[in-house]
Amino acid sequence: PSTSEPATTTGPPSDRARELVVGAFDLHVHIDPDLPPRRIDDVTLARRCVELGLAGFGLKSHYTSTVERARVVEGVVSGVRVHGAITLNRAVGGMNALAVEIAAREGARIVWMPTFDSPAETAGRSEPKPGDNVPQWAKLQHELRGLGLGVEPVHVTDDAGRVLPETRDVLRAVARHGLVLATAHLARDDAFAVVEAAFEEGVEHVVVTHPEFTSQRFSIEDQVALAERGCLIERCLSTPFSGKTSFDHVFDGVQDGAEAHHAW
């Protein structure tokens, strides 16, 4: 679409749009069952992928490993690939190389850095003010804290910005098993530090997660720099669709990032 025209959000996808995504694989899908309600369950989504000619999806949870679920779904629905993942929030021990190692041996393909427990995400740790629109995940964080369950931020760097030893242990496990590393909800400086350390430790595939997201807001220059370093840049439609950024900003990043990848 032209960036000079507002994006339309009504009506079904066109036939041309359907053709463009045949064979596509979605790395970032949250589906039922989950703590917050989701629109579709994993088996139904897998069947929908087969129906539309999509290759499959990466099954993401903010709270648990999805590896065993992914294997079950692939066994139930033939003709679709479902990749399991683990997200390094406090629920799995944070920067926990053991959790990554076990997930990898079960068949995980993606390791996400912290999301809701990233230091960049503060809604679950700051007392909401009257009238605040508190996200569901933040409400849960407050509830858990009220039960005496410490949901502390998961740090990947120290106060000087150096990557922590436990983060490097995680990166070595990712490299050892040839997994995909996703930066998740890390802030700009943490993401750059982890990306550099990941390549130093031998990680081959790094995905910068929705760089326009509220807790990150990477500039176009930052996105180009990460693409030139060898990262893949993930675009999530929900980010501009929900008003967290403009479609123009996303389109600018796609164009400039594509040019950087071509040069790389």
Tokens, residue 202: 């031998």
Going by pLDDT thresholds of 50, 70 and 90, the confidence category of residue 5 is very low
Residue 262 has pLDDT above 90, yes or no: no
Summarize pLDDT for 210-253 with one digit per residue, the tens.
Answer: 988 888 888 999 999 999 999 999 988 877 777 787 888 788 87
- The confidence score (pLDDT) of residue 89 equals 97
- The confidence score (pLDDT) of residue 2 equals 31
Average pLDDT rounded to a whole number, residues 5-11: 50
Residue 90 has pLDDT above 90, yes or no: yes
- For 2-39, the three-class secondary structure string (H helix, E strand, C coil) is CCCCCCCCCCCCCHHHHHHCCCCEEEEECCECCCCCCC
Residue 264 has pLDDT above 70, yes or no: no
Summarize pLDDT for 97-133 with one digit per residue, the tens.
Answer: 999 999 999 999 999 999 999 999 988 888 877 877 7
Q: Which segments of the chain does DSSP mark as H helices, in order?
A: 15-20, 42-52, 67-76, 97-106, 136-146, 165-176, 188-200, 220-229, 238-241, 247-263
Q: How many CA atoms lie within 13 A of 223 on its CB side?
A: 25
- Rounded CA-CA distance 84/100 in Å is 12
Summarize pLDDT for 200-218 with one digit per residue, the tens.
Answer: 999 999 999 998 888 888 8
The mean pLDDT of the chain is: 89
Percent of the chain with pLDDT over 70: 93
Average pLDDT rounded to a whole number, residues 41-48: 96
Highest mean pLDDT among 34-48, 192-206, 216-230: 192-206
Going by pLDDT thresholds of 50, 70 and 90, the confidence category of residue 258 is low
- Rounded CA-CA distance 247/74 in Å is 34
- The confidence score (pLDDT) of residue 263 equals 57
